[in-house]
């Protein structure tokens, strides 16, 4: 197994080339793609977040790390999506309105499609109306919402309320996530499921569709 802390460091430093190189190396060495995400990329991103909080890093540092992570996820996509599993459920997923963080949502979407779910990714900055329209049109088993800002989290509760008001709530399971979201918050807004990371999102969604 490769030392994935070096990958975390490269990402923390915003070094896209090195991040991609070390990701490829880890894959070539036979490391599991989900471990590379969790122990390498996500660990690096966590460090970036801490440094941003403490004032050591600024917005451009976060942007550079985000670009490096996106490039590394492209390298990993084929391995993460490799699956022979037939479709076990339909998921519509997106990042809520006002929120431009989509890396975590993309990881969750990739993990889910790599584990047999049919995923419709609505992207980021998705309005409540758009979520509702897509639930009506695609009739998914699961609606996934991601929020990375404390200011955008309430949007998830708004969507759940709107689903209730339109008589659609019982037709779809709602799963929420994102760094500031907790199980308590998920319970508070009436979501059916919560996962702390992409790896956990898979069993949570499987359970919700009874598979
Ligand atoms: C990268 C980053 C950015 C990038 C985003 C690029 C992109 N395309 O996503 C950029 C530079 C654009 C950015 C901008 C901003 N950011 Co920012 N950002 C981050 C950072 C460092 C990492 C986020 C990330 O990608 N993590 C890696 C992924 C893999 O992890 P994740 O997102 O948590 O996702 C995992 C889980 O949460 C879960 N999950 C996520 N979604 C879902 C959904 C479902 C359904 C499920 C089940 C699970 C799930 O699974 C994922 C995979 O394992 C975080 C710090 C942090 N600790 O989160 C700050 C952070 C989120 N940002 C922050 C801030 C303040 C901002 C700005 C306001 C800064 C500014 N002054 O402009 C803007 C806001 C822009 C906007 N309107 O959205 C704050 C938020 C604070 C708060 N209390 O709300 C944080 C926490 C940094 C900090 N410590 O202060 N940011």
Q: Per-block average pLDDT, block size 10, for the chain (211 residues)?
A: 93 97 96 90 90 92 91 90 76 98 92 87 98 97 98 98 96 98 98 93 94 80
CA of 167 to the centre of ligand 1 (A): 32
Atom of ligand 1 nearest to the CA of 49: 55
- What ligand 1 atom has the least distance to the C-alpha of 105? 41
Phi, psi of 147 (to 5 degrees): -145, 130
Cα 147 to ligand 1 centre (Å): 8
Q: 123 CB under 6 A from ligand 1? A: no
Give the model's pLDDT for residue 83.
59
Residue 182 Ramachandran class (φ > 0 left, ψ -120 to 50 alpha, else beta): beta
Q: How far is the CA of 101 from the centre of ligand 1 (A)?
A: 5
Task: Give backbone dihedrals phi and psi of 195, rounded to 5 degrees, phi first.
Answer: -140, 140
The pLDDT assigned to 126 comes to 98
CA of 148 to the centre of ligand 1 (A): 5
Nearest CA to ligand 1 atom 48: 177
Q: Is 99 in the pocket of ligand 1 (CB under 6 A)?
A: yes
User: From the alpha carbon of 66, which atom of ligand 1 is closest?
Assistant: 1
Ligand 1 site, residue 150, Cβ cutoff 6 A: yes
Task: Look up the pTM and report it.
Answer: 0.91
Domains, the chain, with CATH or none: 4-81 (1.10.1240.10), 89-208 (3.40.50.280)
pLDDT of residue 162: 97
């Amino acid at each position: 197994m490769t030392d994935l802390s070096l990958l975390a460091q490269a990402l923390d430093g915003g070094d896209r080339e090195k991040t991609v190189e070390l990701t490829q190396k880890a894959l070539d060495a036979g490391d599991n793609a989900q471990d590379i995400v969790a122990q390498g990329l996500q660990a690096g991103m966590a460090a970036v977040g801490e440094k941003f909080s403490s004032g050591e890093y600024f917005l451009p540092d976060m942007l550079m790390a985000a670009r490096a992570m996106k490039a590394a996820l492209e390298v990993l996509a084929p391995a993460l999506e490799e699956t022979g599993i037939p479709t076990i459920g339909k998921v519509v997923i997106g990042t809520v309105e006002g929120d431009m963080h989509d890396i975590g949502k993309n990881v969750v979407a990739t993990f889910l499609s790599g584990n047999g779910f049919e995923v419709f990714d609505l992207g980021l900055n998705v309005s409540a109306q758009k979520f509702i329209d897509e639930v009506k049109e695609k009739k998914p088993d699961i609606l996934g919402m991601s929020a990375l800002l404390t200011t955008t989290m309430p949007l998830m509760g708004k969507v759940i309320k709107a689903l209730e008001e339109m008589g659609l709530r019982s037709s779809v399971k709602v799963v929420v996530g994102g760094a500031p979201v907790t199980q308590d918050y998920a319970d508070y807004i009436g979501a059916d499921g919560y996962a702390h990371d992409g790896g956990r999102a898979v069993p949570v969604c499987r359970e919700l569709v009874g598979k």
